[in-house]
Structure 1
Amino acid sequence: MRVLSFLLILLTFGFVKAEIKVVATYPYIASITKEIVKEKAQVDYLASGNLDPHFIVPKPSLTVKLRNADLLIINGAGLEIGWLPPLLNQASNRKINPGSNGFLDLSQYINLIEKPENVSRAMGDVHPEGNPHFHLDPYNVPIISQVITEKLCKLDGSNCDYYKNNLSDFKKRWNEKLAVWNSKMASLKGVKVYQYHKLFDYFLKRYGIISVDTIEPLPGIPPTAKHLEELILKSKSENVKMILQDVYHPIKPAKYISEKMGLKIVVLPHDAGAVEEAKDMFSLFDTIVERMNK
């Protein structure tokens, strides 16, 4: 009890600085943040990596995480719009509300692709700001890590040099891996693919792989039998080589096309934790590259 009382006194008068608590919306953000803070801050995330990032059940346990957070880091570009606002309302934590010092929207620092000129309900579940899955371009990861570090320095200036040193080390290791991934992906340039959802467009664009079409006819709309038959015909005329399947959409439509046309199905993780091998950002891209090249 005496030790506890002494610690409380130290905290009260500022002699001991409590670790800041960071909450990320997705595991990939938490993975990058942990590379920067290491043991100097607590890092947690809200959405499991194997789930559809557009639709997360707002559980009370997630509200508790937000209530105790000093910094909230989100993907942005509308990806969390369907589930995060009610959690923030329930948490009632002014420190992490949009516009506050404890809020960081990563999408504001990335050049987003596929921004629609106009949006209507007839287009399906389209993101007005652009494609939100920008973390799947490995060249965007250093940008994300830099932005996170700058925010951490503003909130926790006493550890800023420590964060910057970790950032420098992270970028060095990341650039080394980029050289490996670039080399392995070079042979796939120009290959044509289908994907279920426009999930991997940043990755495909980076490596010159052509996404001919998606299994869903419109974003968020399940495929019809007619659409699948159209994809079968198009796969032959367009010389499609493979189908990229994520872990959270049904694989049955991809299998149907594959059985008809003999196309290879490649199941790819979209986030850390989506598959067993993808434990962090490094192994996420290791897994994507290895599976694409099998």
Structure 2
Amino acid sequence: MKKILIVMLLTSISLVAKVNVVTTYAYLGEIVKEVGGSHVKVNVLANPKFDPHFIVPKPSLITKLRKAELLVLNGGQLEIGWLPPLLRGAQNRAINVGSKGFVDVSGVIHMIDKPTNVSRSGGDVHPDGNPHFALDPHNMIPIAKLITKKLVMLDSANQTAYEKNLQSFITKWSSFLDQYDAKMATCKDTKVVQYHELFNYFLKRYEFTLVGNIEPLPGISPSSKDALKTINLMKDNNVKIILQDVYHEKKTAQFIADETGAKVQLIPHDVGSVEDTDTLEHFYNIIEERLCR
């Protein structure tokens, strides 16, 4: 009788066991929840209110990685400045580069802005291209497909559930995109300036006209001379919108806006980075509201 009870207990534990998934950013966590459903437990490493290039490697993050069975990262070297030391500290072979529990979603993305020459003279350049592809909502479906494939490899017993969840997400997201694209079409050809090369994928998708960046080079803070150059550029091109992210300083953009009569719009870069962006839908809807209404 005792043996029977032990077997029943172990069986019940295996039935409710969840795949322990760690994602580098919040938007990836939302996709994992969509396709993983009740079969996954998700932890996110980066606080979406801070610069995604620089995350403080806290011991608590190492603990999360040490327990992970699947690591989902953005890739494109966006995490290159902070993830490697965390992985070394975690010493978890299951999620090392090249392992079954490691997935870099940039592999299914057509990367833009690939530099022809990589050197410090060009600022903080990403050799693989611009890694901020999460700003294009059309990239969510290929990412979801890749994550589902990885979950099935790790947890084949729940393959049917994962694939069913994926199909539900594709149906829901395709409907969302149809409506979203129609709303964004009203903003086509709008001229904008952005602080950092953060919104390029979004601007390209919806055919905005990017006149310039406040940063003289990626990752290089603008000087007074740079600000004056941007002011003249905006006046010459009649630009009335400045895209400001949540983690760079905001005084420069506001100064330029005061001098040009433009409006500074605070645009989120990830789920949870500003108020009312707690889901993927809300994240993109806030961007649309701040740029097209």
- Range into which the TM-score falls when normalised by the shorter chain: over 0.9
SS of the residue 2:218 aligns to? coil
SS of the residue 2:269 aligns to? coil
Q: Which residue in the other structure is 2:230 paired with?
A: 231
Q: Which residue in the other structure is 1:24 paired with?
A: 23
1:151-175 residue CA offsets vs partner (Å, 9 max, x unmatched):
1111111111111111111111111
Q: Is the 8 A contact 1:272 1:280 kept in 2?
A: yes
Q: Which residue in the other structure is 1:10 paired with?
A: 10
Q: Is the 8 A contact 1:246 1:270 kept in 2?
A: yes
Q: Which residue in the other structure is 1:256 paired with?
A: 255
Q: Which residue in the other structure is 1:180 paired with?
A: 179
Q: Which residue in the other structure is 1:56 paired with?
A: 55
Q: Does 1:269 align with 2:268?
A: yes
Q: What displacement does 1:14 show?
A: 9.2
Aligned counterparts, 1:1-294, within 5 A: 6=6, 10=10, 16=15, 18-294=17-293
Q: What displacement does 1:91 show?
A: 0.3
Q: Is the 8 A contact 2:76 2:130 kept in 1?
A: yes
The number of equivalent residue pairs is: 291
Q: What displacement does 1:18 show?
A: 2.6
SS of the residue 1:223 aligns to? coil
Q: Is the 8 A contact 2:17 2:39 kept in 1?
A: no
Q: 1:8 to 1:78 in 2, by over 3 A?
A: farther
> Which consecutive residues of structure 2, in runs of 5 or more, have no partner in the other structure?
none
- CA distance in structure 2 between the partners assigned to 1:290 and 1:19 by the alignment: 37
1:225-259 residue CA offsets vs partner (Å, 9 max, x unmatched):
00000000010112212000111111111100100
Q: Is the 8 A contact 2:276 2:283 kept in 1?
A: yes
- CA distance in structure 1 between the partners assigned to 2:17 and 2:188 by the alignment: 49
Q: Is the 8 A contact 1:191 1:241 kept in 2?
A: no
- CA distance in structure 1 between the partners assigned to 2:231 and 2:183 by the alignment: 29
Q: 1:7 to 1:23 in 2, by over 3 A?
A: farther
**TM-score (norm. length: structure 2):** 0.95
Q: 1:30 to 1:8 in 2, by over 3 A?
A: farther
Higher mean C-alpha displacement, 52-61 vs 231-240: 231-240
Q: 1:204 to 1:10 in 2, by over 3 A?
A: same
Q: Is the 8 A contact 1:193 1:244 kept in 2?
A: yes
SS of the residue 2:41 aligns to? strand
Q: 1:219 to 1:83 in 2, by over 3 A?
A: same
- CA distance in structure 2 between the partners assigned to 1:193 and 1:27 by the alignment: 26
- CA distance in structure 2 between the partners assigned to 1:16 and 1:31 by the alignment: 23
> Which consecutive residues of structure 1, in runs of 5 or more, have no partner in the other structure?
none
- CA distance in structure 2 between the partners assigned to 1:95 and 1:47 by the alignment: 21
Q: Is the 8 A contact 1:242 1:264 kept in 2?
A: yes
- CA distance in structure 1 between the partners assigned to 2:9 and 2:88 by the alignment: 32
Letter in 2 for 1:10: L
Q: 1:85 to 1:236 in 2, by over 3 A?
A: same
- CA distance in structure 1 between the partners assigned to 2:188 and 2:84 by the alignment: 40
**TM-score (norm. length: structure 1):** 0.95
SS of the residue 1:265 aligns to? strand
